[in-house]
Structure 1
Amino acid sequence: MNIRVLGLPLAVAALLALGGCSSPTVVTLQNGTQYLTKDTPKTKNGDGFYEFVDISGKHVKVKADDVATVRKEK
């Protein structure tokens, strides 16, 4: 009985905490193309590319030189 009573609130709290970790970001390229991402893009060490997944689920890899701005969505 105690596991059921405590389990549901703990599961809800865990889901809310994970949902708060994402930070939507707008990546704007030099040519004006914009991508909306779920999380801040990561750069790979040494190869000079940004890699991210846009909101449609598409994996995108662009040269760091082609990126104009990376800003968090408000």
Structure 2
Amino acid sequence: MNIKQLALPAVLACCAMLAGCSTATVVTLQNGTQYVTKDVPKTKSKDGFYEFEDISGKMVKVRADEVATVKQED
């Protein structure tokens, strides 16, 4: 077999594995504001904040006491 014939299936397999790694998550604040993230947000930091990137690519930092729920999107 030639390298070109092996490359396409290998690239497709890698893409499929990476697609399975991200888990869309909804972060709901106490005031009702919702942020949809590509991945599960980092847990509360030492300074009491959640940090995550929303689906538009914007970095968001929210105080932990303002967060009502963090759950996976259905």
Give your verdict on TM over 0.5.
Answer: yes
Identity %: 68
Where do 5+ consecutive residues of structure 2 fail to align? none
Where do 5+ consecutive residues of structure 1 fail to align? none
- Aligned-CA RMSD value: 1.2
Task: Provide the residue aligned with 2:10 in structure 1.
Answer: 10
The count of aligned residue pairs is: 74
8 Å contact from structure 2 (residues 44, 64) kept in 1: no
Q: TM-score, normalised by structure 2?
A: 0.93
- How big is the shift at 1:46? 1.2
The runs of at least 4 consecutive aligned structure 1 residues that moved more than 2 Å come to none
